[in-house]
Structures are given as C-alpha cells and as structure tokens.
Structure 1
Amino acid sequence: MNSAIRQIPLDPVPHHHAHDFHQVVIGLHGQADFEIEGLGGSVSTLTGCIVPANQRHSYAGNGENRQLIIDLPRDAICLTGHHHELSALFDAPAFFELDKPLKNYLGFLLEELQLLDSTQSDVSLQHERLTSTLLGSLHTRLAGPQYTRGRTLNLAALDRYIDTHLESALRVSDLAAEVCLSEGHFTQCFGEQTGMSPWQYVMQRRLCAAKRLLLKTHLPLIEIAALTGFSNQSALSNAFRRAYGHPPSRLRTTSTPGTKPANFAR
C-alpha cells in the first residue's frame, strides 16, 4: 500500500475507530476536534495532528471544514529505506502548528496535487516524494530542541491539573491554557523539558493512577478504566501491556515489586 493524500471535510458526527496505518491531518479550512487515546486537541487552519497506527481515536468536524489527510502504511516508501528515521514521528500522537516555511511548503504541495490531478498520470510516486519532504520537516521540528523557546513549564501545576481531570478527555489546549501558551508552543516546550509528548506524559499518569487503584482497591477493571480516563477496559489492558509487559489483572494475582513503566520518551 502506498501513501495516499486526500482533501476532505470531516463529518460533524463523531467517529471512533483505529486503523493499521499512520495518519497526518492538517487543517486547510475551519476546525475539527480529535481525541487520541484520551488526549484531545483541535485542528484548525494550518495546524495539524499525528495519529499513529492502531491508536484508537475519535474525530468530528465543526461546521464547514476541509482537511488534508495523509494515510501512511508502516511500510510506505517515505517511512522505510533511507527515510526509516521518519517512522519515529509516529511513536506517539502529537498536535502541531505549521511555521512559515511549512506553510509555504503546504501551499506548494496543494498546487502540485492540483497539477497532478490534471495530468491523469500515475501520481503515487510523486505523492511519496511530497510526503517525504513534509514528514522530514515535521520530524525536524517536533524532535529538535532548536524550535523551542526556552520556557520552563510548571510541571507540578500540570500534574495537579492532569490528576484532577484524569476521568475526562484531556485536551492539549487545556494543558497549554494552564501555562498560557498556544498548543504548538506548549508541545514544543513540553517535549524539550520532559523528553515526552503531552500524550505520552498523560498516558504515563493515567497508567500510574490505574496501577495504584489496582493495588489498593478491589474495584473492577471496567471501573478503574473509567476513573483513569480510558475509553473501556480493553483500552486500559492494551496500554498496560505496552507499558508494563503484562495485563493489569496480574497485579492482583502476583506480587511484582519494583515494576517500572516502559520508557515513554520519543
């Protein structure tokens, strides 16, 4: 399967699903809301989000909207071979803003797509080339400290906010508002300071809270999932296995002192 680029409006009716390919969504007009494994954000004009494969997510458009959506199989040309390092871009969900060079490139990309549509030729290889350049630029910006602005975040205050709202679908905009930053600037500063994306950090706190409840209460797993912000018991179990290497039920049948969560750093 090759990468596919499309421009579509998103339905105002919320959709919930997961798929076995990665996605990059960039807002061209209007706004859409996304929630990816319990962390939400908005995609408006010239902002976007990264949806890794097999991450359960929901989305809904707000009124008139149009999104650029890139579907990327994990073995796509632009994620393998010489471009293999770009697959790290999908280690975790992320929300981002386009800076001036990326806005200019997006304009070029849209014009190139329009030109390709008029040629009636095989466009798959050119889609891969256009996507590779976009992913490379995004990877540099989201992974590189040179794009942060040196702001030190109050992590203790953020921890209190996250822990108080674990049951809710936390949004990057909510966390950013706590420290009076835009979503994009907050995400950049947060990654530089913690070595994690906001999604990874929130997921770690959800899992730690779930672990405490498993060890100290007799609540059923479905209730613990709800209390810690997981959409259902299966979502909690899958996240727990990825982080700790065993299902949550094992904590109640076997003593596992000193177990540490997996490294969430990108």
Structure 2
Amino acid sequence: MSSAIRQIPLDTATRHHAHDFHQIVIGLDGRAEFEIEGLGGVISAFSGCIVPANHVHYYAGTGDNRQLILDLPGEAACLTGFHHELSRLFDAPRFFALDDPLKRYLEFLQLELDVAGDSESQQERLVATLLGCLNTRLGVAPPAPRGRRLDLARLDRFIERHLANRLSVADLAAEACLSEAHFRHCFGVQVGLSPWQYVRRKRLEAARRLLAESRLPLYEVAALTGFASQSALSSACRQAFGQPPSRLRRPGRLTGSPASLLS
C-alpha cells in the first residue's frame, strides 16, 4: 500500500475506528474534533493531528469542514529507506499547528497534487517533504532546564480533577508552567512514558476501580473516566487487562459515591 492523500469533509456525527496505517489530518476549512486514545483536541484551518497506526480515534466535523488526510502505511517510501527516521513522528499521537512556511507549503502541495494527478512517486515526494518539515518542528525538544523536576503529585491531582474531560498535553504543560516541548521532554525523562500514555493509564486505573467497587452502568463509568463512549472503554479494557469491563466487576453493592471512589 502506498501513501494516499485525500481532501474530504468529516461527518458531523461522531465516528470512531482504528486502522493499521498511520494518518495525518490537517484542517483546511471549518473545524473538527478528535480524540485519540484519550488525547483530545480541535482541528481548524492550518492545524492538525497525528494518528499512529492501531490507535482508536473518535472524530466529528463541525458544520462545513474540509480536511487534508494523509494515509501512510508503515512500508510507504516516505517512511522507509532514506526517510526511515520520519517514522518517529508516529511514536505517539499529538496535535500541532502549522507555522507560516508550512502554511505556504500546504498551499503549494494542494496545487501540485492537481498537476501530479495519480503519480504515486510525486505524491510520495510531496508527503516526505511535509513529514520532514513536521519532524524538524515536532521531533526534537529543546534542552530541558537543568535540575527541573516535574511535580507529579500536582499533575496527578490535576488529572484526577479533570478525568472526565478531554485533556491535552498543552493543558498538562500549562499546569506544570512549561512550554509543551519542554514538558514532553521532562515528562519522558522523569516518568518513562509519554503524557498521553500516562493519562490513559490513569483513566484505566480509575475505570477499573469504579468497575470493581460500584454498580454504575458502563456508559457512566466511561463518562466519569474520560472515555468517549462505552465501546471505547470496552476496547481499552480488553487491550489493557485482557478482558471486557463486565469481567472486572466484583459482586456486591455500591460502596461509595463516584466522587469518593475516584479520589
């Protein structure tokens, strides 16, 4: 499978799926909402998101919208051979905004696609250039301040207070009083996980606790712990614990309020 580039609107009804190829979505007109394995964000013109392969993602367009979507299989020419380092872009989901040079390149890319037609080789070259520019901007974090350690207890309290809401890396970085790039670097060094992996683990821990200690319906457990739907919770539990949420229940009655169980 070679790379594919599409310009389409997204359905205004919320959809979800996962696929075995990477994807980049860049807004051209209007807005769209995405949630990628618990990491949420909004895409508007000249901003976008990175969706790694096999990551469940929920999405919905808002009104009239149009997105540039790049489908990128792992064996695509723009991710292998000379360009193999670009595959690191897909180590984790993230949201980004295009700067002025990339805005101009995006406009050029759209015009060049009309000229290139169905030429796969030219499409791969165009995509490789875009990925290379994104990697330069997103792939390397600036040096972290010396001696700076994150206050994980404070971050944990912030995550717990906002567990039912969409959380972005920018939200966590703001709570830590760091730029997003510095925060990602500090977090990876100190915790050994990406921020989205850490938040996802917190969501799963809270969901497992609610399932074991309450009789709340699954849709309510999903809502309280920040999963987009009951099916998203079920998929996450099967992946993390090897069994569906119903198997994580313990016989018995509700032992406390949802708020006390999540604290």
Deviations 1:9-34 (A, max 9, x none): 22222212222221101112221111
| Among candidates 181, 187, 192, match of residue 194 of structure 1 | 187
Partner of 2:57: 57
Q: Find the partner of 2:156 among 135, 140, 159.
A: 159
More divergent stretch after superposition (53-62 vs 232-241): 232-241
Residue 78 (structure 2) pairs with residue 85 (structure 1): no
Note the alpha carbon deviations across 1:83-114, whole angstroms, 9 max, x for none: 22222211211001112332232222122112
In the alignment, is the contact (CA less than 8 A) between 2:210 and 2:216 conserved in 1? no
C-alpha contact 1:153 1:189 (8 A) present in aligned 2? no
Distance change in 2, residues 1:41/1:192 (3 Å): same
Q: How many Å separate the matches in 1 of 2:216 and 2:58?
A: 25
Aligned counterpart, 1:139 = 135
In structure 1, the residue corresponding to 2:24 is in which secondary structure? strand
What is the rounded CA distance, in whole Å, between the counterparts of 1:102 and 1:73 in structure 2? 23
Query: Structure 2 CA distance, aligned partners of 1:159 and 1:21?
Result: 33
Q: Which amino acid aligns with 2:184?
A: G
**1:35 is aligned to 2:35:** yes
- Match of 2:101, as an amino acid? P
In the TM superposition, what is the alpha-carbon distance from 1:239 to its structure 2 partner? 4.1
**Percent identity for Structure 1 against Structure 2:** 59
CA distance in 2, matches of 1:54, 1:96: 20
Q: State the Cα deviation string for residues 57-97 of structure 1 (Å, max 9, x = none).
A: 11111222221110111221212222222222112110011
Q: Judging changes above 3 Å, is the alpha-carbon distance between structure 1 residues 103 and 56 closer, same or farther for their aligned structure 2 residues? A: same
Q: List runs of 5+ in structure 1 lacking aligned partners.
A: 253-266
Farther-moved stretch of structure 1 (156-165 vs 220-229): 220-229
Q: Matched residues in 2 for 1:58 and 1:228: separation?
A: 16
Q: Provide the aligned C-alpha RMSD in A.
A: 3.4
Aligned residues: 240
1:169-180 aligned within 5 A: 169-172=166-169, 174-175=171-172, 178=175
Select between 220-229 and 35-44 the one with higher mean Cα deviation.
Answer: 220-229
CA distance in 1, matches of 2:23, 2:145: 27
In the TM superposition, residue 209 of structure 1 has moved relative to its aligned partner by 3.8
Distance (whole Å) between structure 2 residues aligned to residue 148 and residue 6 of structure 1 = 38
Deviations 1:144-170 (A, max 9, x none): 023999999765544322112223343
Q: Does the 8 Å CA contact 1:190/1:197 hold for their aligned counterparts? A: no
Structure 1 length as normaliser, TM-score?
A: 0.73
Q: Which residue of 1 aligns with 2:72?
A: 72
Distance 1:137 1:3 in 2: 17
My pick for the range that moved more, 160-169 or 7-16, is: 160-169
TM-score, reference length from structure 2: 0.74
Instruction: Work out whether 1:126 is the aligned partner of 2:119.
Output: no
CA offsets, 1:173-204, max 9 Å, x none? Answer: 654665789xxx53x23212212544223123
- Could you say which residue in structure 2 is the equivalent of 1:205? 202
How do residues 229-244 of structure 1 correspond to structure 2 at under 5 angstroms? Answer: 229-230=226-227, 231-232=229-230, 233-240=233-240
Helix, strand or coil at the partner of 1:27: strand
| Separation in structure 2 between the aligned mates of residue 30 and residue 147 of structure 1, nearest angstrom | 36
Distance 1:180 1:73 in 2: 37
Unmatched segments (≥5 aa) in structure 2: 250-263
